[in-house]
């Protein structure tokens, strides 16, 4: 019995949920329209966002809290074009799925739809400091700023492990993943160095052991 209950602890009881988000569907009227329906969701780790595209040309593109209407190089559904003859909830509308890997906030806008500043944005797991309302306010204000490409020192960037030299970090110039990958990247060189340093010692010890035979 103990064995069974112990084994049960390790069974994957996580039930992943699909969060379907209509793109090009007005969340207030339920009809074809501007934005995402719903425009704010709170999926858990392992859940999946299912973008479901309505009439016209739309795309779900990942952006940042500070620059809601500028792609950050992360997720991009690609442009999906749906015929106007299809009803708002017609069966078999095209979908694109995105797995949620953590509970960090994610931000999206409808790039192809082109109405980001009018509210065509989606908040995923907004926080108490980065709220859905503030994100929408940032989007509404985005037209005022000339959204220059230089204005993208996003929170993720700067951690690049400068010491590592010829890394992949510089080439990638990744926007989304900086913080997550930076820490492991910074530690792994020293780990590798330790291993390299200890290798000769190990070889010597083995040699000595072999000689002793």
Ligand X SMILES: *[C@@H]1O[C@H](CO)[C@@H](O)[C@H](O)[C@H]1NC(C)=O
Q: Specify whether the CB–CB gap between 53 and 80 falls below 8 A.
A: yes
> Whose Cβ is closer to ligand X: residue 42's or residue 145's?
42
* 11/59 Cα distance (integer angstroms): 37
How many H helices and E strands in the chain? 4, 10
Would you count residue 41 as binding ligand X (CB under 6 A)? Answer: no
Would you count residue 177 as binding ligand X (CB under 6 A)? Answer: yes
Q: Residue 106 Cβ, how far from ligand X at the closest point, in Å? A: 6
- Segment 93 to 122, residues that bind ligand X, using CB under 6 A: 98-101, 106
Would you count residue 137 as binding ligand X (CB under 6 A)? Answer: no
Q: CA 184 → CA 37, 120, 161, 178, 187, distances in Å?
A: 37, 36, 10, 11, 5
| Among 56, 167, 176, 189, interactor with ligand X by CB under 6 A | 176
Q: Residue 174 Cβ, how far from ligand X at the closest point, in Å? A: 6
Token digits of residue 147: 């959204």
Q: Residue 135 Cβ, how far from ligand X at the closest point, in Å? A: 16
> Whose Cβ is closer to ligand X: residue 50's or residue 86's?
50
- Exposed, middle or buried, 27 (CB in 10 Å: 0-12/13-18/19+)? middle
Q: Residue 2 Cβ, how far from ligand X at the closest point, in Å? A: 36
* 66/127 Cα distance (integer angstroms): 14
In this structure, are strands 106-110 and 95-99 parallel, antiparallel, or unpaired?
A: unpaired
> Whose Cβ is closer to ligand X: residue 184's or residue 191's?
184
Would you count residue 79 as binding ligand X (CB under 6 A)? Answer: no
Q: Residue 65 Cβ, how far from ligand X at the closest point, in Å? A: 14
Q: Specify whether the CB–CB gap between 157 and 178 falls below 8 A.
A: yes
Q: Residue 62 Cβ, how far from ligand X at the closest point, in Å? A: 7
Token digits of residue 116: 């980001």
Closest CA to 156 of 177, 125, 170: 177
| Among 22, 33, 35, 74, interactor with ligand X by CB under 6 A | 74
> Whose Cβ is closer to ligand X: residue 55's or residue 62's?
62
Residues that bind ligand X (CB under 6 A): 74-75, 98-101, 106, 176-177
């Amino acid at each position: 019995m103990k064995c069974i209950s112990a084994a049960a602890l390790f069974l994957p009881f996580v039930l992943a949920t699909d969060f379907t988000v209509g793109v090009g569907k007005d969340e207030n009227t339920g009809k074809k329209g501007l934005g995402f329906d719903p425009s704010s969701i709170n999926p858990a780790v392992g859940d999946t966002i299912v973008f479901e595209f309505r009439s016209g040309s739309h795309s779900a593109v990942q952006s940042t809290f500070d620059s809601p209407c500028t792609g950050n190089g992360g997720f991009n559904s690609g442009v999906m074009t749906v015929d106007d003859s299809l009803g708002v909830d017609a069966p078999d509308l095209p979908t694109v799925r995105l797995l949620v890997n953590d509970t960090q906030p994610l931000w999206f806008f409808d790039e192809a739809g082109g109405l980001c500043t009018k509210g065509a944005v989606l908040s995923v797991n907004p926080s108490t400091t980065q709220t859905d309302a503030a994100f929408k306010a940032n989007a509404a204000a985005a037209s005022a700023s000339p959204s220059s490409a230089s204005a993208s020192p996003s929170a993720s960037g700067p951690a690049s492990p400068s010491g590592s030299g010829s890394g992949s970090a510089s080439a990638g110039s990744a926007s989304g993943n900086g913080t997550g990958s930076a820490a492991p990247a910074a530690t792994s060189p020293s780990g590798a160095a330790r291993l390299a340093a200890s290798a000769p010692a190990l070889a010597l010890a083995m040699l000595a052991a072999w000689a002793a035979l």
